[in-house]
Amino acid sequence: MRLTSRLCQIPQLQFVPRSKPATKEDVLQLQDFVDGARKLVVLTGAGLSTESGIPDYRSDKVGLYARTNRRPVDHSEFMRNASSRQRYWARNFVGWPIFSSHLPNASHEALYAWEKAEKLQWLITQNVDSLHHKAGSSRVSELHGCTHRVKCMDCHALYRRSELQHAFIELNPGWDFTTPEIAPDGDVLLTDEQVKKFKVLDCQKCGGILKPDVVFFGDNVIKPKVEFIYDQIRAGDGLLVIGSSLFVYSGYRFALRAVELGKPLAILNIGETRADHLVNLKVSALCGEILPQIRIS
């Protein structure tokens, strides 16, 4: 039997909060900031990927928290509770075909052009969607991991998420339904009744628990990755935050470190951020509207 799952197609800007059009002054100010650095460190957040049709959690009126009472899976709950893993993987299975098909937008492509022009010291992303890699970027640290990889929590074997999709299909023949809502990390909203018959894959090598190679809520970014990023900030000439509110400390700490080191800090983001009081420059505008206008010499 062939398993099918269907998601409604989502308008690309449905999850982008409202903002005023970028002004000529916005472009000139950000251009001056970029021109003032030989090697920039860039930190990107969910506000970059909303323009590719991927929702975020916190955006005013359009983020998942504003539209639903849904909260992301907790690390400890996932690890200790088989029913939580069943619910997560059922939702992720349905969402994967759409989530994995999203494409980079003009902002991802602009940042790749910066890398090719040797303007970037390093790119840090809080996103788990692999869109920077799809755009061609290679000098990237995925702060919270990537949903395109799955890790065994016992033997640490790594799997491609796309390969596991076929195994899920074979394990769950005939499982079929429609859902209109996709979540920021690639899963969907399903009822307990819908997921109760879904069968979960175990590690093919040791039988251990499989988990996306991402940092779930309640877990921590590993220390060597944090220290590596601190080194990049130290080596760079400034930090530019793009599309992140920085309300999660895992990203905010890098803004704090940049300021501690005396590095210039700029933010391009629609709406308030946790580091607004620290910045040399704040521009509130659509990322894809302003980044392609920045010239790299």
Predicted local distance difference test score (pLDDT) of residue 168: 95
What is the per-residue pLDDT for 188? 76
Q: In the block, which residue shows the tokens 């190679």?
A: 213
Q: How many angstroms from the chain centroid is the CA of residue 277?
A: 24
pLDDT at 265: 98
Q: Which residue from 144, 182, 178, 177 is spatially nearest to 68, judged by alpha carbons?
A: 182
Surface-to-core class of residue 136, CB atoms within 10 Å of its CB (0-12 exposed, 13-18 middle, 19+ buried) = middle
Residue 156 annotated among the catalytic residues of the structure: no
β-pairing, 140-142 vs 281-283, is: unpaired
128 belongs to an annotated ligand binding site: yes
Phi-psi region of 192 (alpha: psi -120 to 50; beta: other; left: phi over 0): alpha
Q: Which CATH number is 5-293's, of 2.60.120.560, 3.40.50.2300, 3.50.50.100, 3.40.50.1220?
A: 3.40.50.1220
User: What does the radius of gyration of the chain's CA atoms come to, in whole angstroms?
Assistant: 20
Q: Which residue's entry shows tokens 């796309």?
A: 162
Beta strands in 50-193 (DSSP E): 120-125, 140-142, 145-152, 158-160, 177-179
Distance of CA 260 to the CA centre of its chain: 26
Please report, for the chain, the start and end positions of each structural domain, with discontinuous segments joined by +: 5-293
Looking up tokens 């940092």, which residue turns up? 215
Residue 155 assigned as binding residue: yes
The pLDDT tens digits of the residues spanning 149-183 come to: 999 999 999 999 999 999 999 999 988 766 656 66
Q: For the beta carbon of residue 202, count every other beta carbon within 10 angstroms.
A: 13
Contacts of 262 (CB under 8 A, 6+ apart): none
pLDDT for position 264: 98
Query: Are 62 and 55 contacting, i.e. CB atoms less than 8 angstroms apart?
Result: yes
CB 144: neighbour CB atoms within 10 A? 20
For residue 46, which amino acid is it? A
Q: 3, 7, 4, 6: which is closest to 181 by C-alpha? A: 7
Identify the pLDDT of residue 65. Answer: 43
Q: According to the model, what pLDDT value does residue 89 have?
A: 95
Residue with tokens 């970028």: 22
152 is annotated as contributing to ligand binding: yes
Q: Is 191 exposed, middle or buried (0-12, 13-18, 19+ CB in 10 A)?
A: exposed
Catalytic residue, candidates 144, 156, 166, 277: 144
- Whether 17 has a binding-site annotation, put simply, is no
Rounded CA separation 182/92 (Å): 9
Neighbours of 271 (CB within 10 A): 14
- Extended strands (E) in 109-219: 120-125, 140-142, 145-152, 158-160, 177-179, 210-214
Amino acid letter for position 78: F
Annotated ligand binding at 209? The verdict is no
What are 122's strand-pairing partners? 41
Express each pLDDT in 63-73 by its tens digit: 444 455 566 78
In this prediction, the residues of the chain whose per-residue pLDDT falls under 50 are 1-11, 59, 61-66
